Chain A
Amino acid sequence: MPKQSKKKTTEKAAKGKTTKKKTATRQTISAFSKLDPCLLLGASHSKLAHKLGVAEKPKAAAAPSVSKVALGIRSLADRMSTKAANDYVQKDLVSVLVESVDGTATQKKIKSLGGTSTPLTPSKLMAKIPRSKLKSLAGYAGVGYIEASTRLKPTCDQAHESTGLVDAGSTTVSETGQGVLVGIIDTGIDVTHPAFKSGGSTRIVNYLDQETGQEFTQADVDAGDADGSIDVVGHGTHVAGIAAGNGSGSPSGKWRGVATEADLAIVKTTFDTADIAVAIKHIFDVAETRNQPCVINLSLGGHFGAHDGSSVSERVIDDLSGDGRVVVVSAGNEGNDSIHASTTLARGLTPPDRWVADFRINRRVFQTASGPVEAGLILVQVWHQREDAATISLRSPTGNLFNAPENGKQEFNLGSIFVEASHQQHPYSLDLSTTFFIVTDPDPALLSGWSVIAEDDQANGGIQVGSVHGWIPDGAMGHFSSGATDSHLVGMPGTSFSAITVASYASRKEWPSRDPNRPGGIFRADAINVDDISHFSSMGPTRDGHNKPEIAGPGQLLLAPLSSDASEAEIPNFLRAPGRPYAALQGTSMSAPYVTGAITLLLEKDNNLSWAEIKRRLIKSAAQDEFTQPCWNARWGYGRLQVKRLLEIEPARQT
């Protein structure tokens, strides 16, 4: 019995010890958990001082720096009101909301700690307390929770927040695009949309419909004469709205574009490169007549050509760009498409170096005069440099080899396979292209197992550089099954030397949707990683190694004007905002006009800037982070667009 008692006593003692230990732990956790995580972080004095534009107190230098705390939440500095930030920097006082079980006693405690308080309800107080006393207050038994007092902000489009155009609900720049002409060459525009009106009158000063040849003045648009030139696709209306929509028709105007007071010149184009060149000249002519600086947006592209800016259509952009004249182009959405393959052939090997890239052709249905035809149809274009002598061949699944005659073309008819092989030296760059055009029976055995082969032609001088690139111009035609790389996918005219070429990153993953199947009217795309590059964004560089894209803008699920003529087939319900003429679309088509809008603001500030100086300032002001990497790279370019910083960059020194 005594033994048992002793044992019990020992057990009790052990339990007591354990209990005591647990209690101690709980007390520590309890005090810790009573504090808003923001308050545990503290805020960088220097950051706040910068925000307030005040001199920093010397002792503040010792304050904990937010930057040294690796937590994935916004810092207290970013969430404080100006007044609270002043108190923090000058007096080391933090504004907090305190939940208390004994109001008066807690007030006394706060006073004893050097703070002040104002009761809000029997259980809640507003208090200002020295930052160093927060833990003591949290440890006080009467306190339930201490929350940082932060400034709330109206909900606004995340894109503006991420580019710094809006901070805490307020626009950070005074420019609105006034006096600048924004040109949009696209699928047209819904001229009746309120986002493009000001004081009841249209902001569209010129509208050219290349499909009909009709041209409308601002007065024509106001008179309703352009109402027939509708945007049935909805792409052009959305693009124009991102660049320059004023947000009318959206809740509190929050889905506004970037340059809300710019003038607009619209071309509804056929998307033919010749017509696009005409459209660019037309808009710059309009700008000349109106004596306005002008930025043109091209949210379009293709992959048939040299991918080095040497096409005539791209050199037209170079010729027309100049002081107060700049063209912005989307990088393209082929980031996930295996439509490019490349290699570097080694020189002087025995046997000669050889590269094989396999591809397959998609089975498709084509509408012809004699009815639908099922077939495979593909173009494969292979480029190599003028310094190299290389033999480029096509091999079919049947084992046949096809070659093009030098600077000529030849057709081959195998009954179930038709091939045209052509070879050309480009008159401008002098580089060489070999193009294979294939139409085949839809037999699965004839759709796969195709290859392009590049070989060092030592008999004719051989390889000096060795760079070989192949493109399938459209992913719908087929894809490379070997040799594919995800680089060199910036489309044309995005490879134009003077153009500013824009990649896309994600700034939101959910949007209001009128889809009746969505609970709460919110559509959420969980696969999207906010702040990261968009999976579809095409990577550079150009074939000749130029840094493209230059910059990344927000391009995923931007909310912008919805054309009233766009069918549900073009813009499905789940992308449309409930009860508002707005929709969420994505693509580099959306990031390009965002950058166009930012350049519009820049041209308002300094309307004679050259395209080269605009590009320099975009590069100089771009933000880098753990996503973008610290220097130019093929996905992001030089980094993330920062609108406020863009407008603050000083002019380049003139020599």
Chain B
Amino acid sequence: MTDSLRKLFDANKPHREESDKTKVLVSLKASPDDSCLTALQEIGLTVKSVVGNKLTGEIESKLLSKLQQHANVAEVERSVRLKPTDDRDFDT
């Protein structure tokens, strides 16, 4: 049981650092120019979309701390899964 719990724990913890890729939202200190985007890509970030000084992308979890340390990065937020907000609990 301990092994199963350990695996469940490792697979679900919010700050996991395995080699799997994680989707992120990144807030930069300034809107990125080409050289900034190149530098972020060199760290391992695949940039998907840029909105002003914010961007979305994907990066291996083990590279997250490196991304956070980049001079132009203000914060890195892990993407979280949201849910539809319909109510299924019918009290009839």
Contacts and interface: CB of A to CB of B under 8 A. Distances in A.
A46 interface: no
Contact of A316 (B15, B25, B84, B92): B25
Interface string A642-654: 0000000000000
B9 A418 contact: yes
Interface stretch (A151-159, A258-266, A365-373): A365-373
Nearest to A366: B8
Nearest to A417: B5
A590 B81 contact: no
A276 B86 CA distance: 18
Interface string A367-392: 01110010101010000000000000
A319 B25 CA distance: 14
Interface string A268-303: 001111111110011000000000000000011110
B15 A420 contact: yes
A441 interface: yes
B74 A299 contact: no
A274 B48 contact: yes
B8 A333 contact: no
Contacts of B15: 409, 420, 422
B56 A440 contact: no
A80 interface: no
Contacts of A435: 14
Nearest to B26: A312
A302 B83 contact: yes
A653 to B, nearest CB: 30
Nearest to B14: A437
A597 interface: no
Nearest to A586: B87
Interface string A405-428: 000010001011010101000111
B79 interface: yes
Contacts, number: 174
B91 to A, nearest CB: 5
B83 A271 contact: yes
A274 B25 contact: yes
Interface stretch (A49-57, A99-107, A217-225, A522-530): A522-530
Interface residues of B, number: 42
A536 B52 CA distance: 36
Contact of A439 (B8, B85, B86, B90): B8
Contacts of A426: 75
Nearest to A235: B84
Interface residues of A, number: 76
Contact of A375 (B4, B49, B83): B4
A311 B77 contact: yes
Looking at chain B's contact residues, the main secondary structure is mixed
Interface string B22-35: 01111100000000
Given A316-B25, A379-B14, A588 B85 contact: yes
User: DSSP majority for the A interface?
Assistant: mixed
Nearest to A536: B87
A312 B54 contact: yes
A439 B9 contact: yes
B8 A368 contact: yes
B1 interface: yes
B6 A418 contact: yes
A271 B92 CA distance: 30
B71 interface: no
Nearest to A572: B90
Contacts of A300: 82-85
Contacts of A299: 84-86
Interface in A299-319: 299-302, 304-305, 311-313, 315-316, 319
Contact of A274 (B56, B83, B85): B56
Contacts of A271: 81-84
A486 to B, nearest CB: 16
Contacts of B83: 271, 300-302
B84 A273 contact: no
A420 B56 CA distance: 27
Contacts of B91: 525, 527, 535
A415 B3 CA distance: 9
A420 B90 contact: no
B92 A523 contact: yes
Nearest to A372: B4
Interface in B25-60: 25-27, 48-49, 51-52, 54, 56-58
A365 B5 CA distance: 12
The 5 closest A-B CB pairs, nearest first, are A274-B79, A587-B86, A312-B25, A427-B75, A274-B23
16 contacts: A272-B23, A277-B49, A278-B56, A304-B80, A316-B51, A316-B54, A332-B85, A368-B7, A373-B5, A373-B7, A375-B8, A409-B15, A420-B13, A526-B92, A527-B91, A574-B92
Interface of A: 186-187, 233, 235, 238, 270-278, 281-282, 299-302, 304-305, 311-313, 315-316, 319-320, 330-333, 366, 368-370, 373, 375, 377, 379, 409, 413, 415-416, 418, 420, 422, 426-428, 435, 437, 439-441, 491-493, 523-527, 534-536, 574-575, 585-590, 592
Given A330-B85, A428-B75, 11 more contacts: A271-B82, A272-B79, A304-B14, A312-B75, A316-B54, A319-B51, A524-B92, A527-B91, A536-B89, A588-B85, A590-B86
